[in-house]
Amino acid sequence: MKELYEKALAAAENAYAPYSGFKVGAAAELEDGTVITGNNQENAAFPMCMCAERVALGYAGANFPGLKIVRIAIATPSSDELITPCGACRQVLAETVKRQGTEIDVIMTSPSQVRHATVSELLPFSFALPK
């Protein structure tokens, strides 16, 4: 788990965050041990920004569609506070869980603490289209 945190922290260093200055990295471990990283990508049109988690999940889905995501770590060098996924990222994580049929361990970090939660714990009432 420490290795996953370190990869997320390293990914944050390459984030494009000229507007907020808040760099975030994510590292997702696939079921075969492959680790995918992502970082936040800001845009002057703020709704167009991509969070680190969604960048990593999108890359994993596009390049490793048959592999399940086991865990994802989120880290930032920009704060000493515990970092958690935003609401949009929680919804995308919930859709990923639904698609793959298994939970994902979300590892939220700060320099002094680590917290784990499943996606369902983070977003117990995720949006789904009516059947």
Q: Read off the pLDDT of residues 45-98 as tens digits, 9 standing for 90 and up.
A: 988 899 999 999 999 999 999 999 999 999 999 999 999 999 999 999 999 999
Catalytic-residue membership of 53: yes
pLDDT at 128 over 90: no
Bridge partners, 71 (sequence order): 29, 105
Reference 37, options 67, 59, 61, 63; nearest CA is: 59
Give CA separation, 8 vs 55, 94, 98, in Å.
12, 20, 24
Tell me which of 42, 53, 81, 103 is the catalytic residue.
53
> Token pair for residue 125?
């009432």
Give the chain's mean pLDDT. Answer: 95
Q: What CATH code is assigned to 2-122?
A: 3.40.140.10
> Token pair for residue 109?
């970090």
